[in-house]
């Protein structure tokens, strides 16, 4: 098995009391311990940013929470580096806000993590992604396999992938027992070589928790060691270093 402090999770809700993720700083710390146990050395905290809702904290709030969490982890000798980010839902002023720098990218890179809606056509989101790519930004599409519009028609993503869109899928979609639409879509995306990142999208310690060593061993068996390393270590590392 791959050794410790190797993996990088680009999408998780480890910050406390800011969205539907960790409910306290103690839960955040416990999630961090799980990450370290599984071999992760870095995570990007990506609380939801859904304009017009309670889950739309300004960047300063996210930065301050990451600093508080990092301080706590350092004081308890938990070797996990936490970076700032956001999981941004599409909205009419998305392009303006990105241009103004009023949303957080992933770890200070040029890449923004965008969340598709679970309802309706994603036409407007796809137009915004295309525009962002044309303007020189990087875009990571969060858990594309969970979006019904992409489950029905995955092919609509492929021209954007050719243009530079990076797709992230949730490891939990692959870990599902049944052949769900999520799992089938995730597998189709993998087979078409359109997936750039695996991530946990971890929210808590129970239902959507950080991955375990067992999860990683199962994924290594299913995907192969080389793919697992590329999707959960090498590609995320390139994104963090701006490659
Ligand atoms: Fe998420």
Q: What are the sequence ranges of the domains in the chain?
A: 7-240
Mean pLDDT of the chain: 94
Q: How far is the CA of 155 from the centre of ligand 1 (A)?
A: 23
Q: What is the pLDDT of residue 4?
A: 52
Q: How far is the CA of 94 from the centre of ligand 1 (A)?
A: 18
Q: What is the pLDDT of residues 19-68, one digit of tens each?
A: 999 999 999 999 999 999 999 999 999 999 999 899 999 999 999 999 99
CB 25 within 8 A of CB 69: yes
* More confident site: 214 or 2: 214
Q: For the segment 104-121, what is each residue's pLDDT rounded down to a tens digit?
A: 999 999 999 999 998 888
Q: Given pLDDT bands bounded at 50, 70 and 90, which one contains residue 3?
A: low
Question: CATH number of the domain at 7-240, please?
Answer: 3.20.20.140
Confidence of residue 204 (pLDDT cuts 50, 70, 90): very high
**Of 171, 178, 170, 114, the residue nearest 141 (C-alpha):** 114
Q: Ligand 1 centre from 163 Cα, in Å?
A: 24
Compute the distance between CA of residue 48 and CA of residue 170 in angstroms, rounded to an integer: 16
DSSP per residue, 110-143:
SEEEEE--SSS--HHHHHHHHHHHHTT-EEEETT
CA 21 to ligand 1 center in whole angstroms: 9
Tell me the pLDDT band of 89, cut-offs 50, 70 and 90.
very high
Q: In angstroms, what is the span from residue 104 Cα to ligand 1's centroid?
A: 14
CA of 117 to the centre of ligand 1 (A): 12
CB atoms within 10 A of CB 112: 24
DSSP state string for 191-241: HTT---EEE--B-SSSSSPPPPHHHHHHHHHHH-HHHHHIIIIIHHHHHHT
For a pLDDT cut of 70, what percent of the chain falls above it?
98
User: Model confidence over 152-162: pLDDT tens digits?
Assistant: 999 999 999 99
Q: If you measure from the C-alpha of residue 23 to the centroid of ligand 1, how many angstroms do you get, rounded to a whole number?
A: 15
Ligand 1 center to residue 103 CA distance, Å? 16
- Distance in angstroms (rounded) separating the CA atoms of residues 190 and 5: 25
- DSSP string spanning 149-188? HHHH-GGGGHHHHHHT-EEEEEHHHHH-SS--HHHHHHHH
The DSSP bridge partners found for residue 114 are: 88, 141
List own/partner pairs for 97-103 with CB under 8 A and 24 or more apart: 98/132, 98/137, 99/135, 102/58, 102/59, 103/49, 103/59
Distance from Cα 221 to the centre of ligand 1, integer Å:
25
Cα 10 to ligand 1 centroid, rounded to whole Å:
10
- The pTM score is 0.95
Quote the percentage of the chain above a pLDDT of 90. 89
Give the whole-angstrom CA distance, residue 127 versus residue 116: 12
Query: Which phi and psi angles does 234 have, rounded to 5°?
Result: -65, -50
- Dist. CA 138 → ligand 1 center (Å): 18
* Banded pLDDT at 150 (limits 50, 70, 90): very high
Residue 1 above 80 pLDDT?
no
Q: What is the pLDDT of residues 120-135, one digit of tens each?
A: 889 999 999 999 999 9
């Amino acid at each position: 098995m791959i050794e410790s402090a190797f993996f990088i999770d680009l999408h998780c809700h480890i910050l406390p009391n800011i969205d539907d993720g960790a409910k306290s700083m103690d839960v955040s710390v416990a999630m961090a311990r799980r990450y370290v146990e599984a071999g992760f050395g870095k995570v990007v905290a990506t609380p939801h940013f859904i304009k017009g809702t309670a889950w739309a904290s300004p960047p300063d709030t996210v930065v301050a929470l990451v600093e508080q969490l990092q301080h706590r982890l350092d004081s308890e000798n938990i070797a996990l580096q936490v970076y700032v980010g956001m999981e941004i839902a599409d909205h009419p002023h998305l392009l303006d806000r990105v241009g103004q720098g009023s949303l957080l990218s992933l770890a200070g890179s040029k890449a923004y993590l965008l969340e598709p809606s679970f309802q309706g056509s994603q036409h407007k989101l796809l137009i915004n992604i295309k525009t962002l790519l044309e303007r020189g930004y990087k875009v990571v599409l969060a858990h594309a396999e969970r979006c019904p519009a992409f489950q029905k028609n995955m092919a609509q993503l492929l021209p954007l992938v050719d243009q530079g869109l990076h797709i992230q899928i949730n490891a939990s979609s692959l870990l599902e027992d049944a052949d769900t639409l999520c799992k089938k879509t995730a597998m189709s995306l993998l087979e078409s070589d359109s997936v750039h990142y695996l991530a946990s999208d971890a929210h808590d310690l129970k239902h959507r928790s950080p991955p375990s060593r067992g999860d990683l061993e199962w994924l290594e068996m299913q995907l192969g060691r080389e793919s697992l390393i590329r999707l959960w270590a090498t590609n995320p590392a390139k994104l963090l270093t701006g490659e």
